[in-house]
Amino acid sequence: MDDAWDDVAARVALGELAGEAEVRAALAGAGALDEPRALERARAALERFWELLHDAPARALGLATVAGVAAARHQAPWSLLVELRRRQATALFALGRAGDAVDTLEGALAALMAGEADPGEARRARASLLGSLGDTRLAAGRLGPALVALEEAIALCREEGLRQALGACLSSLGNARLFAGEARAARGYYEEALGIARDEGSREGEVVNLHNLGLALHALGEVDDALDRYQDALSLARQAGDRRKAAGIEANLAQALFDQGALDEAQRHQEAALELARAADDRGLQAVALVRLAGLARERGALSEAHAMAAQADELFAALDDPRRGVAWVEQARLRLELGDAGAARALLDRALAAARALGDPRAELAALRELGRAERVAGRPEEARARLSGALELARGLEDPDLLALTRIDLTEACVQCERIAEARAHLDHAARRAAEREGSLIEAQHALGRASVARAAGELGEARAILEHLTRAARELGFLALQREATRRLTSL
């Protein structure tokens, strides 16, 4: 591409030029704005964009921005203008700038409505823009507007017979439903999208939807099936050399392994996720991997290491103005609770709870409420803990995740024991028993055993409590749950 275009694109990538007016002025100053072959070069930019995106998203953004400004100057067809705007938004999203990506797509929709495109072309362009807009609104934490955009996009795609676009929109709608806690609905959208991807021979679509299916199955508590989908998606992503997608898949695969009690494997895959995210220069994914690595370090008892990684994740989220920052606050709170600092933990968790509610993210809200319950217990306020956890239980019932429901009931068991509500504690424990039995060797089974020991001790059944804790101490040590082992040992020595 012409050196002037490259020079201006490089300035966009470095952040020296902000907004299309400045880009237009820079191109004009270089004598490149009225280049006769601008449309040909803009079309070439569509191909070159994908070559840059995975390894150099800032350069991809610069390229798409320059090509878009030049194409608009030469009254390019709407199909080209829309694709260039979508490329800009994609690059912004990859750079962690979801809000700017939303603004770019909303601007493109406004321009489309104000233009004079052929009605059929306009409908196809609108479907494409709405699909991307729904995806980026969701990433920016705007669930309601995301659903509106995606429902309209899917209707347009079906009417116009846009199969590939329909698959992408179905996948995005699945993401929105999963975010809202509707994993079964999400699973249906992902399965339809996966079928379309395979029919169309889209390897990228297959990767995305296999990964998404893994997420839905994981949320539904079908962890073995989720692991199979993650492995399939990871294999395809690695074959394609897509480090960003591979990083996200590795992170979720690691979380599923952690939930099954396979800490060593979880550690290996989470470290791979961090390495891939760094290679792809995706700071958002780096932050996610660091939070989860902090949790693994905490389970191993490496609290200093965990604190450092959680703080680094928080800094990355803050720099990106990422709405997921609350997950770092929750992990930092857990670390504070390990040190017995309930006050500092509550301050972090209050912020995380407010952020989750502002986003409309029920899973994040549940995580904050559960840890707030624990903080109240550590502070010696069991009735307040019970109230917090009762709210968490109502939220967990609205989700479709049997693991989260069981863990919340186990949390309530501990609070009820402290409140001397033994019958209520037994009831919660009994409700969680079936899921704990189904998840043999997992953290849920271990936590359920702790609850059983607490109820047995409160009922004066000290021999039963001792037997449970002795077994749990050995099992936790074998599994590598050292934090759990320490807690079981502490309770055992206090009998």
Distances (CA, A) of 430 to 382, 393, 412, 423, 468: 20, 15, 12, 11, 16
Measured at the CA of 93, the angle between CA 19 and CA 206, to 5 degrees, comes to: 140
- 208 contacts: CB under 8 Å, gap ≥ 6: 171, 193, 197, 233, 245
**Structure tokens belonging to residue 406:** 């069981």
Residue 8's pLDDT is 86
Percent of the chain at pLDDT exceeding 90: 60
Residue 316's pLDDT is 96
Name the pLDDT band for 2 (thresholds 50, 70, 90).
Answer: low
Tell me the average pLDDT across 220-226.
94
Residue 5's pLDDT is 80
Beta carbons of 186 and 149 less than 8 angstroms apart: no
Q: Find how far residue 461's CA is from the centre of its chain.
A: 43
Name the pLDDT band for 331 (thresholds 50, 70, 90).
Answer: very high
Model confidence at 416: pLDDT above 70? yes
End-to-end CA distance of the chain: 76
Please state, in angstroms and rounded to a whole number, the distance separating the CA atoms of residues 124 and 163. Answer: 12
Tell me the average pLDDT across 85-111.
86
Name the pLDDT band for 14 (thresholds 50, 70, 90).
Answer: confident
Q: What is the pLDDT of residues 245-257, one digit of tens each?
A: 999 999 999 999 9
* Cβ burial, residue 1 (10 Å; 0-12/13-18/19+): middle
Token pair 């490329």 in the structure block, residue:
87
Q: What is the pLDDT of residues 292-313, one digit of tens each?
A: 999 999 988 899 999 999 999 9
Tell me the average pLDDT across 64-88.
84
Tell me the average pLDDT across 163-187.
92
Model confidence at 108: pLDDT above 70? yes
Model confidence at 368: pLDDT above 70? yes
Which residue would you say has higher pLDDT here, 440 or 409?
409
In this structure, of 189-198, 332-341, 486-495, the range with the lowest mean pLDDT score is 486-495
Please state, in angstroms and rounded to a whole number, the distance separating the CA atoms of residues 252 and 213. Answer: 12
Tell me the average pLDDT across 124-153.
88
Q: Output the 3-class SS for the chain.
A: CCHHHHHHHHHHHCCCCCCHHHHHHHHHHCCCCCCCCHHHHHHHHHHHHHHHHCCCHHHHHHHHHHHHHHHHHCCCCHHHHHHHHHHHHHHHHHCCCHHHHHHHHHHHHHHHHHCCCCHHHHHHHHHHHHHHHHHHHHHCCCHHHHHHHHHHHHHHHHHHCCHHHHHHHHHHHHHHHHHCCCHHHHHHHHHHHHHHHHHHCCHHHHHHHHHHHHHHHHHCCCHHHHHHHHHHHHHHHHHHCCHHHHHHHHHHHHHHHHHCCCHHHHHHHHHHHHHHHHHCCCHHHHHHHHHHHHHHHHHHCCHHHHHHHHHHHHHHHHHHCCHHHHHHHHHHHHHHHHCCCHHHHHHHHHHHHHHHHHHCCHHHHHHHHHHHHHHHHHCCCHHHHHHHHHHHHHHHHHCCCHHHHHHHHHHHHHHHHHCCCHHHHHHHHHHHHHHHHHCCCCHHHHHHHHHHHHHHHHCCCHHHHHHHHHHHHHHHHHHCCHHHHHHHHHHHHCC
Which residue would you say has higher pLDDT here, 72 or 167?
167
Which residue would you say has higher pLDDT here, 297 or 135?
297
Tell me the average pLDDT across 6-25.
85
**Structure tokens belonging to residue 399:** 């989700």
Name the pLDDT band for 279 (thresholds 50, 70, 90).
Answer: very high
CATH 1.25.40, domain 401-495, yes or no: yes
User: Taking the domains of the chain in order of start, what are their residue ranges?
Assistant: 401-495
Which residue would you say has higher pLDDT here, 77 or 346?
346
Please state, in angstroms and rounded to a whole number, the distance separating the CA atoms of residues 278 and 292. Answer: 15
Please state, in angstroms and rounded to a whole number, the distance separating the CA atoms of residues 269 and 183. Answer: 24
Model confidence at 1: pLDDT above 50? no
Q: Which of 275, 340, 278, 269 shows the shortest CA–CA distance to 303?
A: 340
